[in-house]
């Protein structure tokens, strides 16, 4: 359905994509990569917005460059806040619908799309929208012409946890309706649940692609860092009970301003969480805060490379 074969793209001296190959079929394909890894460039190549310097891009068995009929089948949500602040939401979606749909259908399609994304606009101008509302509006504008392929570039950026959850539900719903979705993020947990396939991109190249479980297995090889915040004596107790466990690589006490934190690294996070939970419960330890520091995708990719 979507195939990139040995595709390269450079902007002057900066190589954005280098011999990148990947494919995506029906479902939700998550593009995971740190900022600047080439995710947006890949999307623009798929949409035919950019010419590849080398390699082949095929979308729905067609070449996307100068292919106006293919654009009719694609909906795109960019990572930017690309909206006219002076417009009203419905007006914005309708105006974009009119670029593709017959005039008489555009109004109805815009209403349907706005309803679908769960946006209550009530005549407000876009400048008064919250970040979450703007993201929904962008998706409404992207799906207003009923695309077969929906490309979402960093759709979770700036959303609060509820907004993220709603966005995931919306993407899953669109997938259920037969829309193929490409979604990018630099945060692992935003993609792993909803994706049917994942592609890891780093420095313009595909590191791995496949079902999320496989990708997560690869990522799990990276030593995870888990940070605990608690009174110092509680942290001492915790470290004393964990230090002889095989699953623990290192234990470090780290000063954070006036507090001292405990940082533990492990190669096997799943086992570690169950052991740590057991130790905390059995010893009745008071843990104030637990944070997985390896969510920083940059460090994972550095490790994988």
Name the residues that contact other proteins, by CB under 8 A: 1, 11, 25-26, 47, 49-50, 60-61, 66, 68-69, 71-76, 78, 80-87, 95-96, 98-103, 105, 112, 116, 141-143, 145-146, 148, 151, 174, 177-180
When the beta carbons of 103 and 122 are compared against other proteins, the nearer one is: 103
Q: Taking the complex as a whole, how short is the minimal distance between the CB of residue 103 and other proteins, in angstroms? A: 7
Q: Taking the complex as a whole, how short is the minimal distance between the CB of residue 50 and other proteins, in angstroms? A: 6
CA angle 180, 107, 146 (to 5 degrees): 10
DSSP secondary structure letter of residue 62: B
Q: Which residues contact 297 (CB under 8 A, 6 or more apart)?
A: 32, 33, 34, 186, 187, 188
Q: Taking the complex as a whole, how short is the minimal distance between the CB of residue 237 and other proteins, in angstroms? A: 52
Give the neighbor-by-neighbor strand order of the sheet with 149-152: 74-77, 149-152, 180-185, 28-32, 197-202, 205-210
Q: Taking the complex as a whole, how short is the minimal distance between the CB of residue 58 and other proteins, in angstroms? A: 11
What CA–CA distance (Å, rounded) separates 167 from 164? 5
Q: Taking the complex as a whole, how short is the minimal distance between the CB of residue 275 and other proteins, in angstroms? A: 43
Q: Which two tokens stand for residue 16?
A: 């954005």
Q: Taking the complex as a whole, how short is the minimal distance between the CB of residue 15 and other proteins, in angstroms? A: 14
When the beta carbons of 100 and 304 are compared against other proteins, the nearer one is: 100
In total, the chain counts a number of residues equal to 305
- Answer whether 167's CB lies under 8 Å from 152's CB: no
Give the neighbor-by-neighbor strand order of the sheet with 248-256: 248-256, 259-266, 224-229, 289-292
CA 137 to each of CA 38, 107, 165, 298: distance values in angstroms, whole numbers, following the listed order: 25, 15, 16, 30
Instruction: Map 223-285 to HEC letters.
Output: CEEEEEECCHHHHHHHHHHHCCCCCEEEEEEEEECCEEEEEEEECCHHHHHHHHHHHHHHCCC
Q: Which two tokens stand for residue 199?
A: 């592609």
Q: With CA atoms as reference, report the closest residue to 227 among 250, 246, 247, 243.
A: 250
When the beta carbons of 21 and 26 are compared against other proteins, the nearer one is: 26
When the beta carbons of 99 and 216 are compared against other proteins, the nearer one is: 99
When the beta carbons of 203 and 245 are compared against other proteins, the nearer one is: 203
When the beta carbons of 177 and 291 are compared against other proteins, the nearer one is: 177
Q: Taking the complex as a whole, how short is the minimal distance between the CB of residue 286 and other proteins, in angstroms? A: 48
When the beta carbons of 79 and 267 are compared against other proteins, the nearer one is: 79
When the beta carbons of 188 and 199 are compared against other proteins, the nearer one is: 199
Give the neighbor-by-neighbor strand order of the sheet with 14-24: 14-24, 2-11, 54-59
Q: Taking the complex as a whole, how short is the minimal distance between the CB of residue 72 and other proteins, in angstroms? A: 5
């Amino acid at each position: 359905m979507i195939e990139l074969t040995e595709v390269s793209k450079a902007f002057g001296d900066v190589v954005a994509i280098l011999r990148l190959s990947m494919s995506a079929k029906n479902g939700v394909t998550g593009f995971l990569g740190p900022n600047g890894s080439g995710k947006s460039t890949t999307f623009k190549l798929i949409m035919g917005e950019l010419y590849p310097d080398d390699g082949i891009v095929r979308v729905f068995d067609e070449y996307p460059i100068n292919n106006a009929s293919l654009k009719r089948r694609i909906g795109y949500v960019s990572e930017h806040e690309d909206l006219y602040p002076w417009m009203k939401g419905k007006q914005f979606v309708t105006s974009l619908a009119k670029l593709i749909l017959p005039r008489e259908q555009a109004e109805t399609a815009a209403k349907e799309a706005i309803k679908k994304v769960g946006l209550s606009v009530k005549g407000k101008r876009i400048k008064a929208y919250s970040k979450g509302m703007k993201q929904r509006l962008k998706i409404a504008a992207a799906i207003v012409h009923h695309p077969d392929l929906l490309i979402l570039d960093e759709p979770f950026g700036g959303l609060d946890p509820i907004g993220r959850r709603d966005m995931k539900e919306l993407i899953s719903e669109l997938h259920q309706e037969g829309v193929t979705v490409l979604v990018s993020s630099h945060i692992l947990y935003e993609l792993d649940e909803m994706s049917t396939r994942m592609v890891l991109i780093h420095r313009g190249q595909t590191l791995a692609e496949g079902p999320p479980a496989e990708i997560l297995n690869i990522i799990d090889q990276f030593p995870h860092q888990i940070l605990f915040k608690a009174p110092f004596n509680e942290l001492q107790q915790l470290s004393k009970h964990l230090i002889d466990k095989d699953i623990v690589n290192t234990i470090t006490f780290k000063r954070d301003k006036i507090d001292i934190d405990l940082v533990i690294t492990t190669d096997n996070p799943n086992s570690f969480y169950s052991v740590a939970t057991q130790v905390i419960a059995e010893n009745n330890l008071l843990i104030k805060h637990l944070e997985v520091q390896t969510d920083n995708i940059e460090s994972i990719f550095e490790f994988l490379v």
